[in-house]
Amino acid sequence: MGSFNLNRRSFLKGAGLMGATSALAALAGCGGSDDGGTDASAGGDTGSEASSYAKTIVIGRANDSDNLDPVTCIGNINIFIFNLILDGLLKTSDDGETIEPNLAEDMPEISDDGLTYTFKVKSGLKFSDGSDVTAEDWKWTFERAMTTEDSNWISTVENFDHVECPDDTTVIVTLKTPAASALACLCVFTLGVQSKAYFDKVGADEYKNAIIGTGPYMVKEWKKGEYLTLTKNPNYREEGLPLTEEIEFKVVADDNSRKIQLQSGDIDIATDVPFSTMKELESDSEVAPHPDPSTFTYWVSLNTQNEYLSNPDVREALFLATDPQEIVDMTTYGYGTTIGTVFSTTSEYCDKDLEPITPDVDKAKELLAGAGYPDGFEIKMLLKGGNDFYASIATVLQSQWSKIGVNLVQDTQEATAYSSARKALELDTIISGWSDDIQDPSEFMQFIFDYDVTHGYYSGLQQPDDMVALNDQANAEQDVEKRKELYKQIQQGFADQKIFIPLLSVPYQNAIRKDITGFVQTPLGNYRFEKLAMPASE
């Protein structure tokens, strides 16, 4: 099984610009001292404490980053490392359950009309190159995220009307309409404060190769296709952190090679680990699987514009012919969890009262016969070549649906053809997936309710007025409990429509050496490595 970087980010405008990254010369570091920022005056560890930790921790991953510009990038392979380089006003907690101040001194003061959010920013902040963080940097960061036409993340900031920064420690954000999602949207990585002077100096094209922020690390060297090395920020605001001087993200494309290198000590952490390998490593004395909770969910989208699938009884028959527990057992080696909704099970808005499907083959056959298809029919499932996980799910579904006479044909396409077919809704069924970028359902709901984005997430269904009204209410509602009830009604609406067959959720597929401490990946995927450490070799 390959990488689990979801492809849905390529749905957004600008996704077509993701070309192949050419091999370039290694990039120079973005300022700071030549020794990687270990000068004691910069807050680095000194003496015996520093010597107790390994200087470098190597992380093996299946793919390399391809764009370190948070506004124009796509893909988790880029997104997950932004929190190592950038800081915003707010952040989610490590467990993903709350929103906390980050570069803001406290949570914002919110006006009575719910439109104006005023932040007091920590004083004395510096970028990793030693320059001061100014009001101009804050304003530019926000406005670039809000106005860049080819931004893939415009939906998270489209409700921001304007930003004022009267001084270096005040940021005032004014919304277009009151929204309960505002705090979550303010945590998005595109709003991590960045240096306008650096962007102006290097230009947009070069900016994709290295950015300057206030986070614990900065880019030291990037040999594309091979490794990306981050070194500690000598101007980081937290004294004594980060604990590890350098983090090297090494490309190890082959799954088995990543496992072997982890076991031999050539790498210290492995990501994108197949579930079968995670199961193997459970008995290893030196390394262990590290399945952190994620927001990844997977389901089957049924195209209601298909002749057969336009019939709700046929869609219900496919529901009842599906056994999610068997899919979990056969494709995730027990690491997955069955779900009853497409909402992430880690979200406070997930309706956990919606139970996973209990298969009923006899009832499914009755429904098909009543719909006029007693002998079943043939439909295709669009699949992307090279995605072994999706292919394994499709294989199990083939077996399950064959019991009611439905012949599911795997329509495997290479990446470009797959994307084109998906974008044009040239499909009968497709395995869909989602992972949250913000701690709020509003971003996900746009992909379903804004039909032009993903054709109702490949259901071919324009949501009816009553569902649209519920979603609009949920976006505006400030009371959390009332929002939960509204999203519960929306999820029940999806269940009644039978346009999505919920399958499973999965954790992050990491494995680490057992002497590693401080490895944190939040449910949103963000790496938090300030306290990541490994004992120094004797």
DSSP per-residue codes, 3-15:
----SGGGGSTTG
29 neighbors 222 (Cβ within 8 angstroms):
no
Query: Which runs of consecutive H residues, i.e. helices, occur in 289-340?
Result: 312-320, 324-331
Burial class (CB in 10 A: 0-12, 13-18, 19+), 300: buried
CATH number for the domain whose boundaries are 297-505: 3.10.105.10
- Architecture per CATH, domain 8-270+510-528, reads as 3-Layer(aba) Sandwich (3.40)
* Matching fold, domains 8-270+510-528 and 297-505: no
The continuous run of DSSP H or E covering 380 comes out as: strand 377-384
What is the token pair recorded at 82? 């932004």
Q: What is the pLDDT along the chain (538 residues), one digit of tens a residue?
A: 333 333 333 333 333 322 222 222 222 233 333 333 333 333 344 444 556 999 999 999 999 999 999 999 988 999 999 999 999 999 999 999 899 999 999 999 999 999 999 999 999 999 999 999 999 999 999 999 999 988 888 889 999 999 999 999 999 999 999 999 999 999 999 999 999 999 999 999 999 999 999 999 999 999 999 999 999 999 999 999 999 999 999 999 999 999 999 999 999 999 999 999 999 999 999 999 999 999 999 999 999 999 999 999 999 999 999 999 999 999 999 999 999 999 999 899 999 999 999 999 999 999 999 999 999 999 999 999 988 899 999 999 999 999 999 999 999 999 899 999 999 999 999 999 999 989 999 989 999 999 998 999 999 999 999 999 999 999 889 899 999 999 999 999 999 999 999 999 999 999 999 999 999 999 999 999 999 999 998 5
Task: Determine the angle formed by the axes of helices 135-147 and 196-207, rounding to 10 degrees.
Answer: 30
What is the token pair recorded at 450? 């804004």
**CB burial string 152-184: b at 16+ within 10 A, e below:** bbbbbbebbeebebeebbebbbebeebbbbbbb
| Three-state secondary structure call for residue 405 | coil
Of 232, 214, 217, 227, the C-alpha closest to 50 is 232
Q: Give the C-alpha separation, 298 to 66, whole Å.
A: 25
Going from N- to C-terminal start, the domains of the chain cover 8-270+510-528, 297-505
Long-range contacts of 176-181 (CB under 8 A, 24+ apart): 177/115, 177/476, 178/113, 178/114, 178/115, 178/476, 178/478, 179/114, 179/442, 179/475, 179/476, 180/440, 180/475, 180/476, 180/477, 180/478, 180/479, 180/480, 180/483, 181/438, 181/440, 181/442, 181/443, 181/475
The continuous run of DSSP H or E covering 203 comes out as: helix 196-207
What strands lie across the sheet with 337-338, from one edge to the other? 337-338, 500-505, 297-302, 429-434, 377-384, 406-413
